[in-house]
Structure 1
Amino acid sequence: MHLTLHHLKLYKPTKTKLNKIELLSKNWNKAIRSALKIVKHWGFTAYTKSHKQTYRVLRNNYKLPSQVANEANRKAVEVYKVNENSNFNRIVPVRLVHKKSFEIINNEGKYFAKILTPNKDKVYCPLSFGEYQLNYLEDDNYKIKTAQLYKSNNEWYLDLTLEYEQPKRDTDTTLGIDLGIINLATFSILDEDQNILHTEHISGEQLRFKRMRYKQKRKAKARSSGSLKTSLIKENQICKQLNWKIANRIVNLADKYNSKIVFEDLKNIRKNITNGNTLNNYEKNNWAFYQLKQFIKHKANLKGLPVEEINPKNTSQTCSVCDQKGFRSEYKQDFFKCANGHILNADSNASINIAKKAI
């Protein structure tokens, strides 16, 4: 499992050190664009194949450390796989690998970052961070793997990725999660006898309103100036914050009830949320379901709670009371009705069935 420590500040680097760090960032981003041209030309979608064509170019032209050149090649392939026509004009953090392109050194309780820069130079900078980060750095159960070097408000920072092994708890209840658009998340907790202990909905109504507002803003800006960036960034921030809150609520409940967390397999979630409506299609294809899942996994891992994925087949079409086939109400889509006449909330019914599958 992995944990990220954000915003470890490089403390008061000298002007010479700043120049070397700036050069590393500048050359790193140039190297990605250069590698991307090669990747595009040959149509590479595998790092190993593109490596032979890009490595010497990046090393010789931009004087990057060996591992940084490898990561630039990897980033170029990632960009190409997402968008074959991308020119990659933005600035991104430098990827560093522990004990290959950087190292965190503990000198009598004081921590320093050793960073390899172009032309085989090395930069040593004291790190400034809080007690929260220090607790993880001093815990032998957490191993530093990678880092990202970036600039924010004229200061340089590292984000560290730590690897850890967290023993899983023995649980006695199951928390099933159904994801959607009207209700972003519906979750139900069942005990081993399939008794329902708790059911809860997190509505997406307010989020839908805000996202539609930002969509209209982007359209207006595009007409006037061709710029979509500002409102899109703001919308992504809102979605991320809400995903984080949903993950907190779910994991806190799972911790309280000592529950195993069960997801439906998200591979086909966008296909499953359909009603032939253009507005619905926009929402389902722009909501960060995968991000929410990763947040929940991360928080659950920290608490030692097991996480499982199940095939969601028939979870929304089966009655959780009698196991008979049913359907959503023709007049009100949030209600489910089965052949035996049971009428249930459709999302609650699905979340209960998801939990049942894992018991």
Structure 2
Amino acid sequence: HTTVSKRHKGKLENRLKHLYQEQKGRQRKLKQIRKEILEIFTNWVIEYARSYGIKIIAIEKLSFKNIPEWKSSKAIKRFTEWFYSKVRSKLEYKGKIRGIRIIEVNPANTSRYCHRCGRKGKAEKLIFKCECGKYDRDYNASVNIGKRAIKIIKKISQNPESKAQRILLPKIRSVRGLPVLPVCYQ
């Protein structure tokens, strides 16, 4: 039966306090780095769009509910959901200031079908293979997302009774005929 001396106990407590303060400092630095990455990335996307006269940016409407490998890792899932939400809201905020609309598009099957011919292909690691050629997998999905966004915009602009049209049309009319920048977060 051993007891810890008061002096030894005091040293241990001081060491724990010191480690706790170090951890808090690291967390603060990590938080600052995340903020900087978010700022740099969203500024780049908005300025890139502005430089090409793009008025609408289409992004994937992501859902993190059915990702099987994340069932055991709640922290990773929470962080990814949080970061995607931050990117989306920061893009919307900066886009609004610059006159750029952000729309979310359902990404279902965008990486399974060829952006060029529309046929189903195979994704092998970072390459998408189809009968008509090979493409970067993310590029292929991004172009498909852009095409879906264009369909959504056309559908809204052709249906005068659409509630969504009343919300989006004033911003869309000024961009008819301009390209849509597909942004892919895969």
TM-score class normalised by the smaller sequence:
0.5 to 0.7
Query: Taking structure 1 as reference, are residues 320 and 232 closer, same or farther at Cα in structure 2, changes over 3 Å only?
Result: same
Q: How far has the Cα of 1:304 moved from its partner?
A: 1.0
Counterparts of 2:74 and 2:115, CA distance in 1: 28
- 1:298 equivalent to 2:93? Answer yes
Query: Taking structure 1 as reference, are residues 284 and 337 closer, same or farther at Cα in structure 2, changes over 3 Å only?
Result: farther
Query: Taking structure 1 as reference, are residues 282 and 326 closer, same or farther at Cα in structure 2, changes over 3 Å only?
Result: farther
Query: Taking structure 1 as reference, are residues 277 and 358 closer, same or farther at Cα in structure 2, changes over 3 Å only?
Result: closer
Counterparts of 1:337 and 1:265, CA distance in 2: 24
Structure 1 unaligned runs (5+)?
Answer: 1-220
- 1:357 equivalent to 2:148? Answer yes
Alignment correspondent of 2:115: 320
Q: Deviations over 1:125-149 (max 9, x none)?
A: xxxxxxxxxxxxxxxxxxxxxxxxx
Partner SS, residue 276 of structure 1: helix
Query: Taking structure 1 as reference, are residues 343 and 302 closer, same or farther at Cα in structure 2, changes over 3 Å only?
Result: same
The AA in structure 2 aligned to 1:336 is: F
Q: How many residues align?
A: 131
Contact 1:263–1:354 under 8 Å retained in 2: yes
Query: Taking structure 1 as reference, are residues 245 and 275 closer, same or farther at Cα in structure 2, changes over 3 Å only?
Result: farther
Alignment correspondent of 2:170: none
Q: How far has the Cα of 1:316 moved from its partner?
A: 1.8
Normalised by the length of structure 2, the TM-score is 0.59
Structure whose residues are more often helix by fraction: 2
Counterparts of 2:78 and 2:136, CA distance in 1: 24
Q: How far has the Cα of 1:277 moved from its partner?
A: 7.9
Q: How far has the Cα of 1:353 moved from its partner?
A: 0.9
- 1:253 equivalent to 2:48? Answer yes
Normalised by the length of structure 1, the TM-score is 0.32
Structure 2 unaligned runs (5+)?
Answer: 1-14, 151-186
Q: How far has the Cα of 1:229 moved from its partner?
A: 2.7
Counterparts of 1:343 and 1:284, CA distance in 2: 31
The aligned runs of 1:43-122 (5 Å cut-off) are none
Counterparts of 1:344 and 1:283, CA distance in 2: 29
Q: Deviations over 1:31-60 (max 9, x none)?
A: xxxxxxxxxxxxxxxxxxxxxxxxxxxxxx
Counterparts of 2:57 and 2:43, CA distance in 1: 13
Name the Cα RMSD after superposition. Answer: 3.0
Q: How far has the Cα of 1:341 moved from its partner?
A: 5.4
Partner SS, residue 351 of structure 1: helix
The AA in structure 1 aligned to 2:136 is: N
Alignment correspondent of 2:104: 309
Counterparts of 1:316 and 1:225, CA distance in 2: 46
Query: Taking structure 1 as reference, are residues 271 and 327 closer, same or farther at Cα in structure 2, changes over 3 Å only?
Result: farther
Q: Deviations over 1:313-335 (max 9, x none)?
A: 11122111111122320xxx211
Alignment correspondent of 2:127: 335
Q: How far has the Cα of 1:256 moved from its partner?
A: 1.5
- 1:232 equivalent to 2:27? Answer yes
- 1:265 equivalent to 2:57? Answer no
Query: Taking structure 1 as reference, are residues 263 and 229 closer, same or farther at Cα in structure 2, changes over 3 Å only?
Result: same
Alignment correspondent of 1:276: 69
The AA in structure 2 aligned to 1:246 is: F
The aligned runs of 1:134-173 (5 Å cut-off) are none
Counterparts of 2:65 and 2:116, CA distance in 1: 26
Contact 2:70–2:77 under 8 Å retained in 1: no
Report which structure shows greater RCO (CA 8 Å, sep ≥6). 2
The AA in structure 2 aligned to 1:335 is: I
Structure whose residues are more often strand by fraction: 1
The AA in structure 2 aligned to 1:348 is: Y
Q: Deviations over 1:323-350 (max 9, x none)?
A: 1122320xxx211223x25221111111
